[in-house]
Amino acid sequence: MKKIRFIVLIVALILSSVARHYAAAEIPITEVTRAIQRYVCFQVFWNAWDQYRLGHSVTITLHHEPDAVYVWSESLSTVQHVKEWADFFVVVGRGDQFLVSDFTGFNVDIMSGEPNFRRDQSLAFKAPSREISIPLPANCTPHPLPTEPLKARMLSVVEKTIANQLLSVESDKVKPGSNVRIVIADFDPDYPWTYVFVPETSEMWIVSLRSKSDPFGDQAISDGEYPAGLVYNKHWIETLKEKLASFGIVRQIEIGDR
């Protein structure tokens, strides 16, 4: 399937002052591995990224800092028409939650001299660093977690976000005070974003659940709204609608007054 990538609307968010982050040295290698595996599978299933070497063991180099684990791999992806590709991940943790807070991919042949490439590579290879092998899943079919309290709060904010977006756009199909059916792509709290389909308007929205400066989405949840934007690619909208038939959460939202 042709790889389709979308630019996610990101709003700079300030980290909550009460957020307790794991010291990176406390993050077990198993959790770093799991965070990368889950991120890979999210991109494979929900965004049709087909470069990852699913079902294979790949080599990663990682370095711990007090606030993050930096990970580099030149064997995780095989990109068509690219001789060598590098993936860079930043993994953070808090409590029992571990996730990829930032990701960058590099075409090594044409980008190895660029400042961002050198910076990210040096973060992962800074001494002391480790080189380990991790397995990538062979199957990335989602198995969403039950709706526990954090996920329930996130779902509530997603609903409010879409209600506000629909309210802000003049439409003959959605009126203030009306109830509208939406379908939310089922997600886990470590997902970077989710999709929402509005059958009434035939619109597909992409909703960012976190940002680099707010990796656990605390400030967005506190504010009661996520950054969101429309998906315009018609083929991709139809593909997502097919996925939502099996992995969608149906909700009714009320559109407030302007």
Q: How many domains does the chain divide into?
A: 2
- How much is the pLDDT for 12? 28
14 located within any domain: no
Do 187 and 231 belong together in one domain?
A: yes
Q: Compute the distance between CA of residue 147 and CA of residue 149 in angstroms, rounded to an integer.
A: 7
Do 28 and 127 belong together in one domain?
A: yes
Do 177 and 124 belong together in one domain?
A: no
- What region does 79 belong to: left with phi over 0, alpha with psi -120 to 50, or beta? beta
Q: Compute the distance between CA of residue 243 and CA of residue 46 in angstroms, rounded to an integer.
A: 8
- How much is the pLDDT for 135? 98
Do 105 and 40 belong together in one domain?
A: yes
C-alpha atoms less than 13 angstroms from C-alpha of 224 in its C-beta half-sphere: 3
- How much is the pLDDT for 256? 76
3-state secondary structure of 119: helix
15 located within any domain: no
Question: Could you tell me which residues are beta bridge partners of residue 69?
Answer: 64, 91
Strands (E), 111-152: 129-135
Residues in the chain predicted with pLDDT less than 50, given as ranges, are: 1-22
Distant-in-sequence, close-in-space partners of 191: CB < 8 Å, separation ≥ 6: 42, 209
Distances (CA, A) of 174 to 52, 121, 161, 182, 228: 40, 48, 15, 12, 18
4 located within any domain: no
C-alpha atoms less than 13 angstroms from C-alpha of 38 in its C-beta half-sphere: 21
* Residue among 198, 192, 235 nearest 217 (CA): 192
- Domain end residue (candidates: 113, 135, 157): 135
Distances (CA, A) of 205 to 9, 29, 66, 120, 214: 11, 35, 36, 31, 21
85 located within any domain: yes
- How much is the pLDDT for 176? 82
* Residue span of the structural domain in which 229 resides: 149-254
Do 171 and 237 belong together in one domain?
A: yes
Q: Compute the distance between CA of residue 63 and CA of residue 65 in angstroms, rounded to an integer.
A: 7
- Which run of H or E residues covers position 40? helix 29-47
- Domain end residue (candidates: 83, 105, 135): 135
N-terminal to C-terminal alpha carbon distance within the chain: 42
- How much is the pLDDT for 93? 94
- How much is the pLDDT for 257? 64
Strands 68-73 and 248-254: unpaired
Do 97 and 193 belong together in one domain?
A: no
- How much is the pLDDT for 23? 54
- How much is the pLDDT for 258? 59
